[in-house]
């Protein structure tokens, strides 16, 4: 018996050491979340972009300097370099034709060259009316597509706006693998695609890494792509593991089972700050300001909040600075509006709302919500000033902030209930159907100088009539803003655009269809030996530059 | 009226003559642990009810956020320190105790009422009503509990026609939890009550009452219920512990009592989020849940020993395929792991 | 016996059908409308499309008819497509089920291996010191909030001592043999601690019950040793309720252990069903719930049959 135990122990030790040796070649990344699908066209979420960043590349991206750059093309077209030109369209309007070229040596993960055929196929898929791609608008704007040769193509877009040269959103699919599947029956393609049925097929991918193993909802395994044409990656294999519980993610990090957790889809900022306090000396921790805008969408059709004075009072009554200082160690500083301070079109010449209880009191009194003693405010009809503060169950940070806000508003005599719903319910039902009787707290991440067209324009208010299209959940309806957005969109001259942006911000900050909280920062926890990762701060994640990553311990 | 065959607690129609109860008290007195448990539970309950007094004394309230003293250490103003939002931990534990104990007791009571009604009807009426109700009970027992609780906790009450302003109210999640746990927790009581009723039905005193022309409701109220009360008390006591645990599990899944209303379950859940920054925050609610549940279990165990010495196994007759289960008080299903 | 089994079989089938209807109605009450969710995914949709889609998915029909469609498809093995993971429901359930079974069977076996001897040992001398000690341990086990226990286990054994992995199945590292087993130790231990208490209490209770019976007294009077009495007479009878309990718990093996799976990142049925419910993934939620119910019902059936077989008073004809 003792002998047997001895043998078992030996086996244990050897197997354990074997797995440690193997682990050294693999970078293990802990993420929180798992995408609905690995098919690039059918869904887009932060976690999906993060995973796909390793294994495929968009045609163009915003780079680390928040400028448009080519990834799967040679030159960004512009009117100046002649690769973009204005062309008349069939309906008499003016469109833009872009000439693009794919890298000569681009190949799929199975060695098949990546050519304009693939681009043509991808556009055909996106434009097919039986296919529900995540971003249909991108494809609707393409009025013409022409193949010049295997590596050159032109594409004509239906309008000339200030981002006319950003050909983004068309994800390249491998025609040699997916076309037969698609042609069989476009309507059911989404279910039969190899991205769904056999995601570890090498020919589906073309990044520095290939997907080699997928365990649905828990992990994705990546290995070096032998046909990658760019810089050879330094790290041979990458493991992405999903954690549904952040305490477990943190434990795995401390236990050394994962090496790294990225700010894009890892621990929330407050967790990283807490982690830094305790183990900051053992890790490299960095923070990145980002284009994620956290705010409270106000349902302006909910009577008490339809009054602009009440919305302004709500903002005066909360101390966003205190939240930043105390919950986020000074990060996530209060923001003026949806434009990030680092964005070139930002202005701070807009109404500010620092914490000011007296001002809130005055505004509420003017709006007819009087207060006697410490009771909740009532109007002349005797109704209490009351609304519901919605949020996502998944966001523990959000729930902290909610309780702080609720407390502050109670002090100001405003009765607030908190109601948290799973993200799917909040974003799939409550917000699009505008069923929220109060305000909803969430954030969205965008690109630099991104036009909030779907969020602010009055024809983007979701309703049964437009099939709940658009994200103007607040019901904001201001003809001036509608006009400004149209003007900005079509103004190609940056210097002429800037004043329009400033005007838009001023109106926004005065009207407050949403109460701005902060622009979110994200925290990255690196092991000391992992270098080369550069956070971007926008919707294009750091994994798109994964071939630059390296480790210093080998 | 005939004397019951055995002098056990269960069988006398009117417990006015105190002897069975005194006997029970004597038996219970042998269980020191049960007494200690009862004492602890009473203490917790009283302390929870005193929360407003403590709040007044400390000069703060359980929801007063103070971001300047997050994770504060214990001190004169905050005897147990402060939590992640600078709220007083002691006060929140007391208010949380109110909520947790309230949820535990009311769910168990609701379940007991449902179970008693179903059990009495099945046992007293017999025939097809009995077999239908018992098959129904079997059906409910065979449901996977936790997944169904999740479904019930996740459904949109708005689709049931409940007005929005009620749903969005602060205590809605509280009533919801009580209701859904009661909806599934009644089966144990139903089986016990039915088995006991079945046995009582044939007893002489019930027959006599019937012969004297007593209506069924009267017979049930006067003769059956007083005699099945012991198994109900025991099962209900034991259920309280389970419910408190279940509430903590549902809170962990984000489906329990919604903040800012504190319950031990949601305090523990939030504390595990911050377990690295402030491990003590997780200790207190965890400990209170643990002590309460274990005390409830000891009390139930002691009560069982004292009130139901199991000598009269003939109150558990062979009447159906599954009735061996009637002999157990605790729902054996592993629901919360 | 045959008639008994036949009767129980059709009862089981009936319960199953009723439960599926109940679950169908409940799941229909979850937030979100499947068509709305499709619409948000496709802004270019027209109202004609909406009508077409509603027709295609049968959403224009009454609930009863929709349920019958679902039932018919399910009987034919078609559980539909998971909206959440964009995969057929059946391909998702397979691996999750295997993972859950691994975990649950291991903890079940371990828990019984502890509970049987401990429960019997305690039952032989009720009210003794050893009975109190075992009871205390059993009550302690069932009284700990399970996620708290799991978290403490991770903190101690994975983070502080580095003895065991904090989570995962080891599948990614191609861990096999002992390497794979290491990943099971903490979750299995957590599950076992949570369940062993009620098992001990149950075994103890049913043994005490049996030891009081007349035939045990008779056996003792015949001069059999205490050991002989326990082994030959008490065990067989004392195990009958235990068989029933196992039958009842059989289903939980298939519905997984949600809390433990979540804490230890173990992709099993518990997490799958939970994610389906929270994500309003109707097909997946229905399939998961029905599988768990079916297996529980089969477990009950087997327990009843086993009970009949074990019970000396029931003649097999």
Q: What is the mean pLDDT of residues A59-69?
A: 92
Measured between beta carbons, the chain A residues lying within 8 angstroms of C85 are 36-37, 216-217
The predicted structure's pLDDT at residue B14? 44
CB contact under 8 A, C255 and B321: no
Interface with chain B: mutation pick from C27, C145, C192, highest number of B CBs within 10 Å:
C145
Q: Which residues of chain B neighbour A325 with C-beta distances below 8 Å?
A: 67
Give the nearest chain C residue to B300 (CA atoms). C139
**Within the 180-199 window of chain C, which residues sit less than 8 Å (CB to CB) from chain A?**
182
* Predicted confidence (pLDDT) per residue in A114-132, tens digit: 999 999 999 999 998 888 7
Q: Say what the pLDDT of residue B26 is.
A: 67
Determine contact, residues A203/A112, Cβ cutoff 8 Å. Answer: yes
Q: Residue for token digits 């036949």? A: C6
Q: What is the pLDDT of residue C12?
A: 82
| Full DSSP string of B287-305 | HHHHHHHHHHHHHHHHHHH
Q: Among B116, B155, B129, which residue's Cα sits nearest to residue C22?
A: B155
Specify the pLDDT at position C174: 63
Q: Which CATH superfamily is domain A3-55+197-289+522-551 in?
A: Periplasmic binding protein-like II (3.40.190.10)
Pairing of the two strands A84-88 and A94-101: antiparallel
Q: Enumerate domains of chain C plus CATH numbers.
A: 1-78 (no CATH), 91-310 (1.10.3720.10)
- Which pLDDT does position A336 carry in this prediction? 92
List all chains that touch chain A, counting a touch as 3 or more CB pairs closer than 8 Å: B, C
The per-residue pLDDT for C51 is 66
Nearest CA in chain B to A411: B64
- CA separation for the pair A334, A515 (Å, rounded): 11
Percent of chain C with pLDDT over 70: 85
Question: Is residue A539 helix, strand or coil?
Answer: coil
Q: Do B67 and A406 touch (CB under 8 A)?
A: no
Confidence category of residue A549, pLDDT binned at 50, 70, 90:
very high
Whether B44 has its CB under 8 Å from any CB of chain C: the answer is: no
Q: Which of B68, B70, B71, B85 to mutate against chain A (most A CBs within 10 Å)?
A: B85
CB B149 within 8 A of CB B241: no
Record: contact A277-B277, CB cut-off 8 A: yes
Quick one: closest CA in C to B131, which residue?
C11
CB-side neighbour CA atoms (13 Å) of C119: 28
**C253's tokens:** 């093996």
According to the model, what pLDDT value does residue B319 have? 29
Percentage above 90 pLDDT, chain A: 60
**pLDDT recorded at residue A499:** 94
Mean pLDDT along residues B29-46: 86
Mean local confidence (pLDDT), A255-280: 90
Instruction: Show me where the domains of chain A are located.
Output: 3-55+197-289+522-551, 61-175
**What's the mean pLDDT in B152-172?**
74
Which residue in A326, A418, A435 is closest to B70 by CB distance? A326
Please give the DSSP secondary-structure letter assigned to residue B88: B
- Name the residue facing B273 among A396, A406, A420 (closest C-beta): A396
Using the beta-carbon criterion (under 8 Å), do C307 and B144 form an inter-chain contact? no
* Residue B228 pLDDT class (50, 70, 90 cuts): confident
CA neighbor of B188 nearest in space, from B20, B11, B27, B335 = B335
Taking the Cβ of residue C280 and every Cβ of chain A, the question of whether any pair is shorter than 8 Å is answered with yes
For testing the chain C interface, which of A252, A258, A259 should be mutated: the one with the most C CBs within 10 Å? A252
pLDDT of residue A61: 93
Q: For residue A531, count CB atoms less than 10 angstroms from its CB and return exposed for 0-12, middle for 13-18, buried for 19 or more.
A: middle
- How many other C-beta atoms can be found within 10 angstroms of the C-beta atom of residue B319? 16
With 90 as the cut, is the pLDDT of residue B28 above it?
A: no
For residue A244, the chain C residues in CB contact (below 8 A) are: 262, 265, 271
What is the structure's pLDDT at B47? 92
Pairs of CB atoms within 8 A across A/C? 154
Question: Which comes out higher in pLDDT, residue B75 or A547?
Answer: A547
Q: Which helix (H) or strand (E) holds A98?
A: strand A94-101
| pLDDT confidence tier of residue B221, bands split at 50, 70 and 90 | confident
| C225-232 own/partner pairs: CB under 8 Å, 24+ apart | C226/C124, C230/C120, C230/C124
What pLDDT digit, counting tens, does each position of B259-297 carry?
778 899 989 988 888 887 788 888 889 999 999 999 998
pLDDT score of C21 more than 50: yes
Backbone angles phi, psi at A392, to 5 degrees: -95, 135
Q: Are B260 and A418 a contacting pair at CB < 8 A?
A: yes
Write the pLDDT tens digit of every residue in A472-527. Answer: 999 999 999 999 999 998 888 899 999 999 999 999 999 999 999 999 999 999 99
Distances (CA, A) of A274 to A278, A288, A403, B266, B273: 7, 16, 19, 21, 11
pLDDT, tens only, C165-189: 888 777 766 666 667 788 888 999 9
The string of pLDDT tens digits covering residues A179-199 is 999 999 888 888 889 998 899
For residue B201, what pLDDT is reported? Answer: 79
**Measured between alpha carbons, how far is A451 from A489 in angstroms, rounded to an integer?**
7
Global pTM value: 0.84
B150/C274 CB distance under 8 A: yes
| Distance to chain A for C197, nearest Cα, Å | 26
- Mean pLDDT over all residues of chain A? 88
CATH architecture for residues A61-175:
Alpha-Beta Complex (3.90)
Residue A4 has pLDDT above 50, yes or no: no
- Using pLDDT thresholds of 50, 70 and 90, give the confidence band for residue A356: very high
| Other chains touching B, judged by 3 or more CB pairs under 8 Å | A, C
What gap in Å lies between CA C239 and CA C216, rounded to an integer? 15
Q: CB burial class (10 A; 0-12, 13-18, 19+) of residue A379?
A: middle
Of B154, B293, B298, the CB nearest to C30: B154
Residue B312 — pLDDT band, cuts 50, 70, 90? very low
Q: What angle do CA A256, A287, C155 make, to 5 degrees?
A: 30
* Collapsed DSSP state (helix, strand, coil) of residue A449: coil
Of B148, B155, B245, Cβ closest to residue C30: B155
Determine the pLDDT at residue A6: 45
What DSSP state is assigned to residue C186?
Answer: H
Residue C59 has pLDDT above 80, yes or no: no
Tens of pLDDT, residue by residue over A432-468, are 888 888 999 998 888 888 888 888 999 889 887 777 7
- Please determine, for residue B322, whether its predicted confidence score (pLDDT) is greater than 50: no
Q: How far apart are CA B271 and CA B280, in angstroms?
A: 8
Residue of chain C with shortest Cα separation from B284:
C148
Interface of A with B in 221-250 (CB under 8 A): 246-247, 250
How far, in Å, are A38, A151, B105, B238, B328 from residue B233 at the CA level? 55, 81, 12, 9, 14
Asked whether residue A219 carries a pLDDT value surpassing 50, the answer given is: yes
In this predicted structure, the answer to whether residue A229 has a pLDDT above a threshold of 60 is yes
Alpha helices in A185-227 (DSSP H): 189-192, 194-197
How large is the average pLDDT for residues C236-252? 75
| Chain C neighbours, 3+ Cβ pairs < 8 A | A, B
Q: Which of A134-148, A501-515, C56-70, C184-198 has the lowest mean pLDDT?
A: C56-70
Q: Name the residue among A507, A455, A516, A502 with its Cα closest to residue A316.
A: A516
Cβ–Cβ below 8 Å for B142 and C260: no
pLDDT at C30: 75
Query: What residues of C are in contact with residue A429 (Cβ under 8 Å)?
Result: 31-33, 36
pLDDT in tens, C136-160: 898 888 888 888 888 888 888 888 8
Give the pLDDT score at B324. Answer: 32
- Cα separation, A87 vs A95, in Å, equals 5
User: What interhelical angle do A396-411 and A308-317 show, nearest 10?
Assistant: 110
Query: Would you call B160 and C206 a contact, using CB atoms and an 8 Å cutoff?
Result: no
pLDDT at residue A420, rounded to an integer: 86
Touching B: C residues 223-252, CB under 8 Å: 240-241, 244-245, 248-249, 251-252
Whether B147 and C289 have beta carbons less than 8 Å apart is answered as: yes
Pair B337, C148: CB distance under 8 Å: no
What residue in B sits closest to C251 (Cα-Cα)? B144
More confident position, C315 or C313: C313
Residues of chain B whose C-beta is under 8 A from some C-beta in A?
A: 63-65, 67-68, 70, 84-85, 154, 156, 164-165, 167-170, 254, 258-260, 270, 272-277
How, if at all, do strands A68-70 and A386-392 pair?
unpaired
Which residues in chain B are closer than 8 Å to C245, comparing Cβ atoms?
328, 332
pLDDT tens-place string over residues A521-545: 999 999 999 999 999 988 899 999 9
The per-residue pLDDT for range A14-49, each reduced to its tens digit, is: 444 444 444 457 899 999 988 888 999 887 788 999
**Gap between the Cα atoms of B273 and C79, Å rounded:** 36
The arithmetic mean of pLDDT across residues A232-240, rounded, is 92
Query: How far is residue C245's CA from residue C243's CA, in Å, rounded to a whole number?
Result: 5
Structure tokens belonging to residue C87: 């995969």
Greatest Cα pair distance, chain A, in angstroms, is 90
Q: Given this model, what pLDDT does residue A261 score? A: 94
- Mean confidence (pLDDT) of chain B: 77
Is B168's CB within 8 Å of A422's CB?
Answer: no
Q: What is the ipTM of this complex?
A: 0.82
């Amino acid at each position: 018996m003792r002998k047997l135990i001895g043998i078992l122990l030996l086996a244990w030790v050897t197997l354990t050491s074997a797995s440690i040796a193997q682990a050294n070649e693999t970078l293990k990344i802990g993420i929180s979340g798992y995408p609905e699908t690995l098919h690039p066209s059918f869904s887009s979420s932060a976690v999906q972009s993060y995973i796909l960043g390793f294994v495929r590349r968009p045609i163009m991206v915003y780079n680390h300097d928040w400028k448009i750059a080519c990834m799967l093309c040679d030159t960004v077209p512009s009117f100046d370099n002649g690769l973009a030109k204005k062309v008349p369209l069939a309906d008499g309007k003016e469109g833009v034709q872009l000439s693009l070229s794919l890298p000569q040596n681009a190949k799929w993960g199975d060695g098949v060259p990546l050519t304009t055929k693939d681009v043509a196929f991808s556009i055909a898929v996106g434009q097919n009316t039986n296919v529900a791609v995540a971003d249909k608008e991108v494809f609707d704007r393409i009025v013409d597509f022409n193949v010049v040769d295997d590596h050159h193509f032109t594409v004509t877009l239906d309008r000339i706006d200030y981002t006319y040269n950003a050909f983004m959103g068309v994800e390249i699919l491998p025609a040699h693998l997916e076309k037969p599947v698609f042609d069989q029956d476009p309507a059911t393609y989404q279910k039969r695609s190899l991205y769904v049925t056999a995601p570890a097929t090498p020919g589906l991918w073309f990044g520095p890494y290939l997907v080699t193993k997928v365990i649905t909802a828990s992990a994705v395994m990546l290995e070096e792509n032998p046909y990658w044409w760019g810089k050879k990656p330094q790290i041979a294999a990458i493991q992405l593991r999903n954690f549904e519980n952040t305490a477990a993610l943190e434990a795995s990090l401390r236990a050394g089972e994962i090496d790294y957790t990225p700010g894009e889809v890892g621990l929330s900022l407050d967790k990283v700050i807490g982690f830094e306090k305790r183990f900051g000396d053992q890790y490299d921790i960095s923070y990145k300001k980002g284009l994620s805008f956290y705010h409270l969408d106000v349902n302006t059709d909910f009577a008490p909040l339809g009054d602009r004075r009440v919305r302004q009072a709500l903002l005066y009554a909360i101390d966003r600075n205190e939240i930043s200082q105390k919950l986020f160690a000074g990060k996530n500083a209060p923001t003026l509006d949806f434009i990030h301070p680092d964005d070139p079109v930002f202005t701070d010449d807009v109404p500010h709302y620092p914490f000011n209880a007296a001002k809130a009191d005055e505004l509420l009194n003017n709006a007819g919500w009087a207060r006697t003693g410490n009771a909740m405010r009532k109007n002349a009809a005797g109704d209490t000033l009351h609304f519901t503060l919605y949020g996502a169950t998944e966001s523990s940070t959000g729930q902290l902030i909610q309780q702080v806000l609720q407390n502050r508003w109670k002090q100001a005599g405003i009765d607030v209930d908190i109601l948290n719903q799973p993200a799917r319910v909040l974003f799939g039902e409550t917000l699009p159907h505008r069923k929220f009787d109060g305000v909803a707290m969430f954030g969205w991440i965008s690109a630099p100088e991104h036009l909030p067209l779907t969020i602010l324009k009055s024809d983007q208010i979701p309703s049964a009539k437009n099939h709940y299209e658009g994200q103007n959940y607040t019901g904001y309806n201001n003809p001036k803003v509608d006009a400004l957005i149209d003007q900005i969109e079509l103004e190609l001259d940056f210097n002429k655009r800037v004043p329009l942006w400033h005007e838009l911000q001023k109106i926004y900050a005065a009207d407050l269809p949403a109460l701005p909280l902060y622009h979110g920062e994200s925290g990255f926890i690196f092991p000391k030996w992992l270098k080369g990762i550069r956070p971007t701060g926008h919707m294009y994640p750091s994994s798109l530059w994964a071939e630059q990553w390296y480790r210093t311990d080998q | 009226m005939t004397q019951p065959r055995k002098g056990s607690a269960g069988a006398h129609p009117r417990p006015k003559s105190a002897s069975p109860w005194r006997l029970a008290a004597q038996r219970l007195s042998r269980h020191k642990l049960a007494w200690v448990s009862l004492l602890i539970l009473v203490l917790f309950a009283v302390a929870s009810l005193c929360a407003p007094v403590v709040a007044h004394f400390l000069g703060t309230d359980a929801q007063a956020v103070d971001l300047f003293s997050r994770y504060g250490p214990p001190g004169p103003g905050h005897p147990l320190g402060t939590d992640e939002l600078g709220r007083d931990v002691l006060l929140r534990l007391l208010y949380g105790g109110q909520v947790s104990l309230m949820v535990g007791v009311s769910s168990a009571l609701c379940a007991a009422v449902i179970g008693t009604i179903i059990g009495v009807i099945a046992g007293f009426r017999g025939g097809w009503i009995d077999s239908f109700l018992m098959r129904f009970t079997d059906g409910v027992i065979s449901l996977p509990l936790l997944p169904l609780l999740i479904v019930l906790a996740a459904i949109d009450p708005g689709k049931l026609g409940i007005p929005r302003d009620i749903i969005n109210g602060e205590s809605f999640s509280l009533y919801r939890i009580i209701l859904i746990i009661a909806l599934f927790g009644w089966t144990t009581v139903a089986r016990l009550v039915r088995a006991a009723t079945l046995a009582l039905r044939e007893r002489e005193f019930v027959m006599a009452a019937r012969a004297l022309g007593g209506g069924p409701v009267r017979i049930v109220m006067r003769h059956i219920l007083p005699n099945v009360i012991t198994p109900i008390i025991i099962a209900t006591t034991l259920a309280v512990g389970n419910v408190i645990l279940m509430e903590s599990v549902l809170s962990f899944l984000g489906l329990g009592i919604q903040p800012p209303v504190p319950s031990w379950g949601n305090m523990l859940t939030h504390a595990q989020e911050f377990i690295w920054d402030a491990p003590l925050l997780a200790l207190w609610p965890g400990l209170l849940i643990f002590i309460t549940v274990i005390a409830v279990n000891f009390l139930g165990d002691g009560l069982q020993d004292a009130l139901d010495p199991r000598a009269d196994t003939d109150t558990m007759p062979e009447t159906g395929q599954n009735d061996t289960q009637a002999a157990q008080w605790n729902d054996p299903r592993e629901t919360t792991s | 016996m045959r008639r008994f089994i036949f009767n129980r079989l059709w009862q089981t089938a009936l319960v199953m059908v009723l439960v599926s209807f109940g679950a169908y109605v409940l799941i229909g009450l979850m937030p979100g409308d499947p068509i709305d969710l499709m619409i948000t995914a496709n802004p270019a949709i027209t109202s004609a499309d909406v009508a077409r889609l509603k027709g295609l998915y049968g959403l224009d029909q009454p609930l009863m008819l929709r349920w019958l469609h679902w039932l018919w498809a399910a009987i034919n093995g078609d559980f539909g497509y998971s909206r959440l993971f964009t995969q057929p429901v059946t391909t998702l359930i397979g691996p999750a089920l295997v993972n859950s079974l691994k975990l649950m069977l291991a903890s079940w076996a371990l828990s019984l291996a502890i509970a049987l001897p401990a429960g019997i040992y305690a039952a032989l001398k009720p009210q003794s010191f050893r009975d109190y000690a075992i009871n205390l341990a059993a009550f302690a086990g069932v009284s700990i909030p399970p996620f708290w226990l799991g978290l403490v286990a991770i903190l101690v054994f994975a983070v502080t001592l580095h003895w065991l992995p904090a989570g995962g199945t080891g599948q990614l590292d191609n861990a096999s043999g002992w390497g794979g087993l290491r990943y099971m130790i903490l979750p299995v231990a957590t599950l076992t601690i949570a369940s062993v208490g009620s098992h001990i209490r149950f075994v103890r209770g049913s043994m005490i019950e049996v030891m009081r019976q007349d035939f045990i007294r008779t056996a003792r009077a015949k001069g059999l040793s205490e050991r002989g009495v326990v082994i030959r007479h008490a065990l067989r009878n004392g195990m009958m309720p235990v068989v029933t309990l196992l039958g009842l718990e059989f289903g939980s093996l298939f519905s997984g252990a949600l809390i433990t799976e979540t804490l230890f990142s173990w992709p099993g049925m518990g997490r799958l069903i939970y994610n389906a419910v929270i994500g309003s993934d109707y097909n997946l939620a229905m399939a998961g719930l029905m599988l768990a119910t079916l297996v529980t019902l089969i477990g009950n059936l087997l327990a009843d049959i086993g009970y009949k077989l074990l019970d000396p008073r029931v003649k097999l004809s």
